[in-house]
């Protein structure tokens, strides 16, 4: 098993639960990949590497958390609610789908985006039948007020790709898996404490209890193949020879797979994510998150000791100085949580230049499946063909699929 991000952890968990002897190799000093927490010395507290909004209908996430004994570590509103603030007009509203599959909430003005009608939302059904080459703005009218106030922020956040370039069919599938299943499935969830406390630490403890071995600081540099089998793995000069019954799950990033297996087609275009963390105590009983329209910040999350900002498809901000970004983003955060704009509290800016693959129609065609031409090698990762964008749900699904392939494929 190569890679201890969520895809690798999920695959290792399923295999270890089935009684398979698991050795998990991770290049870094910790597990979790992009989904982890760490102590930030400049802020003097723990922060998450990034922000991830989950929903109750994420079935793979739910199964994974239950398996590692962390099913109660996510929190969210009792009823499905998505609060928004339009920074240009100052208008606030809360999107509140009803629990059942029949979307009667569309006919309730208090549950919709202001100044929209039920028909505005129903036009999004066109995404479901969009051709694979279509982009979001080729299917949805970017001049529609609902596009600016809902579809665009959802598309950018979900796909981590600009709406004019992002895949319409992928967004349509995602909406069908969420809003299409009723408000109960859309109930938003966030970690009670942190990403590591929910997804990583309990998983490592569970793997240890299942006698799995986890080795950190072991980077896979090369692999050797003969015919339709991989025969050895090279970890920084230490070669591991594979025996007849051994199988390999390669759960690393697409660029790493592309380097190790240059003949394999993988995504080769990526998008950045920017996160900003501010050490400040948010107002009591303030929302767990707020979606922002018309500003630089896009989503703000209330954490135990910080307010955290996420900007998706943030390539245009990657070269800006952190000292320049911090006050700009803080002005948006301050308005969202009714805090003074000055002074800017202690902050930390985290830039991920290649956070996820670009969810464009061309890149979706480059996503490989779980199986490979090597009978003892399978792939896992949110960049594989999971049917979802690069999300926690997709990563865990890919790990489960890899484990299932390993168990049923003879070598």
Q: Tell me the CATH number at 319.
A: 3.90.660.10
Our CA angle for 388, 391, 394, nearest 5°, is 50
**Host domain of residue 111:** 82-186
Q: How many domains does the chain have?
A: 3
Residue 1: inside a domain:
no
Q: How far is CA 106 from CA 19, 97, 116, 207, in A?
A: 49, 8, 9, 45
Domain match, 239 and 374 both? yes
Which pTM value belongs to this model?
Answer: 0.96
The predicted-structure confidence for 53-95, as pLDDT tens digits, reads as follows 999 999 999 999 999 999 999 999 999 999 999 999 999 999 9
* Domain boundary, last residue among 137, 163, 186: 186
Domain match, 262 and 395 both? yes
Biggest CA pair distance of the chain: 65
Residue 45: inside a domain:
no
Domain match, 331 and 368 both? no
Domain match, 263 and 284 both? no
Beta pairing partners, 306: 279
State the pLDDT at residue 299. 97
Domain match, 243 and 380 both? yes
The predicted-structure confidence for 283-309, as pLDDT tens digits, reads as follows 778 999 999 999 999 999 999 899 999
Domain match, 162 and 28 both? no
Q: Is 122 exposed, middle or buried (0-12, 13-18, 19+ CB in 10 A)?
A: exposed
Domain match, 148 and 200 both? no
Domain match, 89 and 172 both? yes
Residue 151: inside a domain:
yes
Residues of the chain where predicted confidence (pLDDT) is lower than 70: 409-411
Domain match, 264 and 393 both? yes
Strand pairing class (289-293; 82-86)? parallel
Q: Is 354 exposed, middle or buried (0-12, 13-18, 19+ CB in 10 A)?
A: middle
- Please count the CA atoms within 13 angstroms of the CA of 75 that sit on its side-chain side: 12
Domain match, 238 and 262 both? yes
Domain match, 209 and 291 both? no
State the pLDDT at residue 411. 39
Residue 284: inside a domain:
yes
Residue 324: inside a domain:
yes
């Amino acid at each position: 098993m190569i890679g201890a991000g969520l895809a690798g952890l999920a695959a290792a968990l399923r295999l270890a639960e089935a009684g398979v002897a698991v050795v998990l190799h991770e290049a870094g000093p910790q597990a979790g990949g992009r989904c982890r927490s760490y102590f930030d010395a400049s802020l003097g507290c723990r922060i998450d590497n990034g922000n991830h909004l989950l929903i109750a209908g994420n079935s793979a996430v739910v199964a994974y958390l239950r398996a590692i004994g962390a099913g109660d570590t996510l929190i969210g509103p009792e009823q499905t609610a998505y609060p928004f603030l339009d920074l240009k007009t100052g208008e606030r509203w809360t999107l509140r789908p009803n629990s059942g599959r029949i979307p009667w909430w569309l006919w309730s003005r208090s549950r919709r985006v202001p100044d929209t009608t039920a028909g505005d939302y129903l036009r999004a059904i066109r995404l479901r039948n969009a051709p694979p080459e279509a982009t979001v703005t080729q299917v949805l009218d970017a001049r529609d007020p609902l596009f600016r106030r809902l579809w665009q922020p959802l598309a950018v956040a979900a796909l981590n790709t600009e709406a004019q370039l992002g895949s319409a069919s992928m967004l349509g599938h995602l909406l069908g898996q969420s809003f299409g299943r009723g408000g109960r499935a859309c109930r938003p969830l966030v970690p009670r404490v942190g990403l590591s406390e929910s997804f990583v630490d309990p998983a490592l403890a569970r793997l240890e209890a299942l006698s799995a071995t986890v080795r950190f600081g072991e980077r896979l540099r090369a692999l050797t193949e003969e015919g339709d089998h991989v025969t050895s793995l090279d970890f920084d000069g230490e070669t591991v020879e594979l025996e007849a019954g051994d199988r390999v799950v390669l759960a690393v990033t697409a660029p790493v797979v592309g380097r190790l297996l240059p003949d394999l087609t993988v995504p080769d275009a990526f998008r950045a994510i920017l996160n900003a963390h501010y050490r400040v105590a948010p107002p009591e009983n303030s929302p767990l998150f707020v979606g922002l329209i018309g500003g630089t910040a896009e989503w703000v999350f209330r954490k135990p000791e910080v307010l955290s900002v996420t900007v998706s498809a943030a390539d245009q901000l990657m070269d800006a100085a952190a000292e320049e970004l911090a006050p700009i983003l803080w002005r948006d955060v301050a308005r969202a949580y009714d805090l003074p704009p000055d002074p800017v509290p202690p902050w930390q800016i985290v830039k991920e230049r290649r956070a996820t693959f670009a969810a464009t129609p061309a890149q979706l065609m480059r996503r490989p499946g779980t199986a490979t031409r090597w009978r003892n090698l399978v792939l896992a990762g949110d960049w594989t063909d999971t049917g979802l964008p690069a999300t926690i749900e997709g990563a865990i699904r890919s790990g489960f699929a890899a484990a299932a392939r390993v168990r049923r494929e003879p070598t």
